[in-house]
A and B are shown apart, each in its own frame.
Chain A
Amino acid sequence: MKLYEKTAHELHDLLTAKEITATELAEDVFSRVDAVEGEVQAYLTLTRDEALEQAKTVDARIAKGEKLPFLAGIPGAIKDNICTKGTRTTCASKILEHFVPPYDAAVMEKLAKESPVLVGKANLDEFAMGGSTENSAYQKTHNPHDLSKVPGGSSGGSAAAVAAGTAIWALGSDTGGSIRQPASFCGIVGLKPTYGRVSRYGLVAYASSLDQIGPLTRDVRDAANLMNIIAGHDPMDSTSSSAAVPDYTKALTGDVKGLKIGLPKEYFVEGLDSEVETAVRKAVEDFRAMGAEMKEITLPHTKYAISTYYLIAPAEAATNLERYDGVSYGERIDGADLVEMMTNTRTELFGEEVKRRIMIGNYALSAGYYDAYYLKALKVRTLIQQDYMEAFKSVDVILAPTAPTPAFGIGEMVSDPLKMYLQDVCTVPLNLAGIPGLTLPCGVSSAGLPIGLQIIGKPLGEETILGAAYAYEESHDYKNKIAAVGGEKA
């Protein structure tokens, strides 16, 4: 097995045992980048020189006999909407083509203490708006399992890199499914933490009340370890939770006996691919076989989740994106006067989907429409939250599909935004409720595409869902399947 095919915890053990060096590891990953990145196109910016320097530093620490933090020397990818001091952060938008942040996101500061090796900045749908990474202004990322398919989105670059072996781990962001759906499409583990569990400071805002940073990894243990690093209160983020951070790896016992699992009937309805349904129902049976208890539950307001999301998220996005006006940073297209300059800049440098959401958001916030749209959406959001809170009175976790279908074809949905929005049906309600959700592989379609199982938890219930996921992962063989890119033999 090549180094790039291993999990972070395996590599951590090898580094600690001095069986490999961080430089060897970094070079191995970059040789994988050289081999497949041309086809996968997961990265917008590669930071090879810095990465090799970082690896050298870690090797020096190993030589000195220092105890290594978990991520030391392990190559990873950062979604390009997370600010990295000194490294350009584009959000896959032309409007930030040359934007180099003068500060690090809170998660980057936390990561820095671990001395990881950063391979580069991963592609995404522009400003994280989309579910296929086709809305990137720069390039289309291809699903490593089938290059004709999308990797999902918006964290498609992060997911594709981890699945292709060009990153061992990645950070993404999830506003309506943007970690879980691409993780599901690419056959890896993705976790959207509870809203407020991970600081958003330095995550370029799409929809502030929904955005959350989380890990994309090869297995559940890596996800738990990454959570140990990135979770916690941040005084710079007033919405971050001050709850103590547990050691998430302690939850990985493999035991689900007596775990009460809820099955929401609203997640198994029309539009759900039959292979996905079969795989998820099989997973449910497997949990039962492992000693978990099953219960049918109902989340009656689920059907309003998409409409609610597509009012709240664009409204927040419309204001969040007002700052890109060509005045003091970012790109500028000049005009005869100020208004023309701002208009030219925003018209020419934002992509279609971004402009569509800005329009929807401004419409929803306009005088005379606010009560009917935005305010109504906030009320429905509360009902959706209450559905979950009611359900969690009798169950510990909820199982559901992550996405209604396996990865779809590149170009298949670009002309039909509404159909694309429906992709979010299983993931969006969690963001509206602020609760955590994890996806892990639970099968492969007849076309050879991964299928994801979503495990939904209570607020701050990450330990429970990681524990359940680990038990499932240990008893199945879907873990860490590095894709054979373009028909090569992995």
Chain B
Amino acid sequence: MKYEAVIGLEIHCELKTKTKIFCGCATGFGAEQNTHVCPVCLGLPGVLPTINRRVVEFGIKAGLATNCTINKYSKFDRKNYYYPDLPKNWQTSQYDLPIAEHGWVDIDVEGEKKRIRLTRIHMEEDAGKLVHSGNTIKDSASSNVDYNRTGVPLLEIVSEPDLRSAEEARAYMEKIKAIMEYIDVSNCRMEEGNLRADINVSLRPVGTTELGTRTEMKNINSFKSLVEAIEYEIERQTEVLEDGGHIIQETRTFDPARGITLSMRSKENAHDYRYMPEPDLPPIVTTEEEIEKFRSELPELPDARRARLEKEYGLSDYDAGILTGSRAMAEYFDAVIATGADAKLAANWIMGDLSKNLNAESITIEKSPVEAKRLGEMILLIMKNTISGKIAKKVFQEMWTSKDAPAKIVEDKGLVQITDTAAIEGIVDEVIAKNEKAVADYKGGNKKAIGALVGQVMKGSKGKANPQMVNELLAKKLQ
């Protein structure tokens, strides 16, 4: 039997507010343990929460940017469960009236557009962090709790089970990440846990509509793990089903080192969170005017930007998709263009040499040693025929290591393109004289033979001759 995977994602997105969701403590990452705490986020007896209005604003903006309906009457609820990283032993979250519902985003997988529906977006507080004395909880004599993260605001973005493969899930999460970056509500630094996903995976026979039993993988915090966890889980579930077994509904943990998922909880019964409306926070009432104000503050979103790049610069849909796929990439591209550089050249250089180098060294584009302005300057040198495209590759590598301005590199290394007809003509004559066979071939009708001659001229000029002029001069002289 052939199976189809049914995948849904719950993405937790940490918001970049200065202060926590219910108190005035700072939200910064990496501070000394238990320094960003106060009676409120420590859940001391007698404290009360107060809502950070920025969180509501960010929630509404995230909803608008993902085509959700904004609930004008929304409320917080207590989600009760005992865990030591949760000082009150309930998480203040949203249950039946989330801030936003019924949205969608479009993703591209293998050139196909697909619409993924969003169930809801709700606001909630993050929990603290357990710090074990040993490597794992099992071999620790004791554990401490760091409450710095307790009360950091989160959006939970829940998709419908519309995803069918690891690649779709990846494309979806990339899209959500890009949107959250564009609207500037989150830093989306996955390595800092700003963006984490809980994945639900089930299988069903192709052609059927009933959902199979699902498993859940929690706290996936890289695209690599997302893909590996889903692929592994699909394979595992397929094997179980093909062997005539049943999938157990459970939470599984993904081990990135081994690339496998493992059963985490032995108990199959679902948690009863005993949700209760939060009596200490009044309902969140949002007016049409506020919604429209937030809508007007939204920047150009990835899909719109992509369409604009195609239209304005004649870029291909694929290229435009890549260049707008993250806010940092799009901003880099814009900054290159701002120097006056040609858009197609800019696109090629960003997607080519720059991306190759970034990937090779695992650097994000924000930290690229070659700044956008420098790349723009280099492209301008190409456009002005100061250097050829081939020389530019050398200049680029030089810029990558030295961070010097391209003009300086060109000058220091004497890489200026030869555009002096007399100088090129001298080399051309020399090459024609030395390559009788190629010349004869060309004259005999094998027009391709000119390639070898061009190569010789370029070599003779140490790559600095303007290739177009070389071609023209050769063609003229061989007539």
Contact = CB atoms under 8 A, between A and B. Distances in A.
Interface of A: 81-83, 89, 91, 96, 99, 101-103, 105, 200-205, 207-209, 235-239, 315-316, 318-319, 322-323, 325, 327-329, 338-339, 342, 362, 365-367, 370, 374
Contacts of A236: 48, 50
A201 B274 contact: no
B205 interface: no
Nearest to A208: B279
A238 B49 contact: yes
B105 interface: no
Given A103-B44, A238-B281, A329-B44, A374 B276 contact: yes
Contacts of A202: 46-47
A339 B46 CA distance: 25
A347 to B, nearest CB: 14
A469 to B, nearest CB: 29
A315 B276 contact: yes
B441 interface: no
Interface in B47-68: 47-51
A333 to B, nearest CB: 15
Interface of B: 39, 42-51, 78, 80, 82, 84, 87-90, 145, 147, 272, 274-276, 279-282
A138 B46 CA distance: 21
Contacts of A208: 279-280
Contact of A323 (B87, B147, B281, B282): B87
Given A323-B88, A339-B82, A366-B272, 20 more contacts: A101-B39, A201-B46, A201-B47, A202-B46, A203-B46, A205-B280, A238-B49, A239-B48, A315-B276, A316-B276, A318-B274, A319-B90, A319-B274, A325-B84, A325-B89, A327-B84, A327-B145, A329-B42, A366-B274, A374-B276
A238 B22 CA distance: 11
20 contacts: A81-B46, A83-B45, A89-B45, A99-B45, A201-B46, A202-B47, A203-B46, A238-B50, A238-B281, A238-B282, A315-B276, A322-B90, A323-B45, A325-B82, A325-B84, A325-B89, A328-B42, A328-B84, A328-B87, A370-B275
B51 A238 contact: yes
A319 B48 CA distance: 13
A204 B88 CA distance: 13
A322 to B, nearest CB: 4
A83 B274 CA distance: 28
A81 B45 CA distance: 9
Select the residue from B39, B47, B51 with max chain A CB neighbours within 10 A: B47
Contacts of A319: 78, 80, 90, 274, 276
A342 B46 CA distance: 21
A457 B43 CA distance: 34
B50 A235 contact: yes
Query: What 10 pairs between A and B have smallest CB-CB spacing?
Result: A322-B89, A208-B279, A365-B274, A209-B279, A204-B45, A202-B46, A83-B46, A204-B46, A327-B84, A367-B272
A205 B46 contact: yes
Nearest to A329: B44
Nearest to A200: B48
B48 A338 contact: no
A105 B87 CA distance: 19
A316 B275 CA distance: 11
B88 A322 contact: yes
A365 B275 contact: yes
B82 A322 contact: yes
User: Which of A96, A315, A322, A338 has most chain B Cβ within 10 Å?
Assistant: A322
A345 to B, nearest CB: 11
B42 to A, nearest CB: 7
A272 B39 CA distance: 44
A423 to B, nearest CB: 24
Contacts of B275: 365, 370
Nearest to B277: A378
Nearest to A95: B45
A383 B44 CA distance: 34
A238 B48 contact: yes
Nearest to A205: B46
A202 B45 CA distance: 7
A99 B46 CA distance: 12
A322 B80 contact: yes
A322 B283 CA distance: 23
Contacts of A203: 46
Nearest to A83: B46
Contacts of B147: 328
Contacts of B84: 325, 327-328, 338
A91 B78 CA distance: 23
A102 B44 contact: yes
B12 to A, nearest CB: 22
B283 to A, nearest CB: 11
B266 to A, nearest CB: 14
A316 B87 CA distance: 17
Nearest to A82: B46
Contacts of B43: 323
A101 B82 contact: no
Contacts of A322: 80, 82, 88-90
A325 B50 CA distance: 24
Contacts of B44: 83, 101-103, 329
Nearest to A199: B48
Contacts of B90: 319, 322
Nearest to B81: A322
A103 B89 CA distance: 21
Given A319-B90, A323-B87, A327-B84, A101 B276 contact: no
Given A103-B44, A204-B46, A328-B145, A239 B280 contact: yes
A417 to B, nearest CB: 23
A201 B50 CA distance: 11
A342 B82 CA distance: 9
B329 to A, nearest CB: 41
Contacts of A362: 274
A97 to B, nearest CB: 13
Contacts of A91: 45
A40 to B, nearest CB: 26
A410 B85 CA distance: 42
A464 B288 CA distance: 39
B250 to A, nearest CB: 19
